[in-house]
A and B are shown apart, each in its own frame.
Chain A
Amino acid sequence: MSNPLDPVIAWFTTARDALRIAKRSITRKPLGLITDRHTQFFGIPAEQATDNVVAAEEELNRLVVLALVAVFERTLRDSIINRSTPHLPNASLTDRRIIDQITQDIEFWHFSQRLLEVFDTVELALRGQVRQLVEYRNWVAHGRSAVAPPPVNVLPQLAYERLSKFLQEAGIITV
């Protein structure tokens, strides 16, 4: 299986570079580049426009981790379902219902406490780091509490690298 996280990090890199180019364009002000169709940039001071881009960049960094962890989680659940259900009897309607119930049950396994722990051949430290990424994902997904700071510092590129490494060590993807 190829790495399902690759498309996510690819769109992130494109979006990040686009924002960097936008920032340069604001600073260098090439004639006619920013028009009144660019509502967030037209007619406002360059500093304010740059701040807007920086804020968008920071939001992008957070949201891409959310996306990476979501794809990672789906991949783990699918892997467990695909590994287990083909081995179950499937000769009758009752068999089929048992398979459906098991499949549904796996969907409710707690991410950190059950799902990750199935893959106990993955290095302990790496499992711990992935658990931290899940915590960070929860912090982003639940509205980024202003009172509680992010539980840990996360960079999209490192999140991608750590999650990919987990999928490799779990035997789900090949390099």
Chain B
Amino acid sequence: MNTTSAIEITERIRQTQIADRVVAAAEAVSRLVSSGISQEWDLAKDSEGREGVRLRLTDGFGGEATTDFLPGELSIVRHVEEKTRRLADALGAVTIWQSEVHTLCVRIREWIRELGEDVYIEAETVALHEPQAGHYRADGLRIRFGVGEMVVRPVARWVVGANGRVDFLGSEERFTLILIESEWLWVDDMAILDRDLFLKLARDCLGLA
């Protein structure tokens, strides 16, 4: 049991009639999550456009995950606890996934330099939404070389048969990579992504092949 996680409830919520219920729910969440995880509560609409509140959990490693509650759900402690447990699990998965994507981007920055001096690389932050983790962000890249452009875009953490998906979207080609046991594989032939394979795919994306 832990009661030290940071809680932030927005002023917008405090001015509503459900403020007390949110405070009680936040206390229930605190008892379930570890001390390094912070909570932020704000008013939000869920994926079906219904008014409610959004809980965002963040950890000290840049990981984040959200879930939405309808006002009526906040009063059912068991329901809040169940959703919190699932969200905390999703947060752990997202944190690892974000780290894997970040490491991939670092490697790509190094590999792409082999194409030439005038490769232009821009870091991007990609907003993602998945049922398991709600809204979160992950690293991406935009690469320009000559007239060609290629985007490295994280697509999903939850993929049937893999632990994540990143797409290379080029002016001419698009390829999909999947993460299995900390290895990035090109899904078309399940080859492990190394420098040579990356450069081959990048050349196709940029229209150089």
Residue ranges of A at the interface with B (Cβ–Cβ < 8 Å): 20, 23-24, 27, 54, 57, 129, 132-133, 136, 147-149, 151-155, 157-159, 161-162
Contact = CB atoms under 8 A, between A and B. Distances in A.
A48 B22 CA distance: 48
Contacts of A23: 172-173
Contacts of A152: 131, 158-160
Interface in B40-77: 47-48
A27 B159 contact: no
Contacts of B47: 147-149
A162 B178 CA distance: 14
A133 B173 contact: no
B171 A27 contact: yes
Looking at B161, B173, B187, B188, which has the most chain A CB atoms within 10 Å of its CB?
A: B161
Nearest to A162: B161
Interface in B130-162: 130-131, 155-156, 158-162
B34 interface: no
B180 to A, nearest CB: 9
Nearest to A151: B131
A21 B144 CA distance: 22
A159 B161 contact: yes
B203 interface: no
Contacts of A132: 160
B207 A27 contact: yes
28 contacts: A23-B172, A23-B173, A24-B172, A27-B207, A54-B174, A132-B160, A136-B160, A147-B48, A149-B129, A149-B131, A152-B159, A152-B160, A153-B155, A153-B156, A153-B158, A154-B159, A154-B160, A155-B160, A155-B161, A155-B162, A155-B176, A158-B159, A158-B160, A158-B161, A158-B178, A158-B187, A159-B161, A162-B160
A133 B160 CA distance: 7
A159 B160 contact: yes
Given A20-B173, A23-B173, A155 B159 contact: yes
Interface of B: 47-48, 129-131, 155-156, 158-162, 165, 171-174, 176, 178, 187-188, 190, 207
Contacts of B158: 152-153
A159 B187 CA distance: 11
A54 B172 CA distance: 10
A136 B159 CA distance: 11
Contacts of A148: 47
Contacts of B172: 23-24, 27
Contacts of A20: 173
B156 to A, nearest CB: 4
Contacts of A133: 160
A6 to B, nearest CB: 16
A129 B160 contact: yes
Contacts of B155: 153
Nearest to A156: B187
A57 B131 CA distance: 24
Nearest to A13: B188
Nearest to A128: B160
Contacts of B187: 155, 157-158
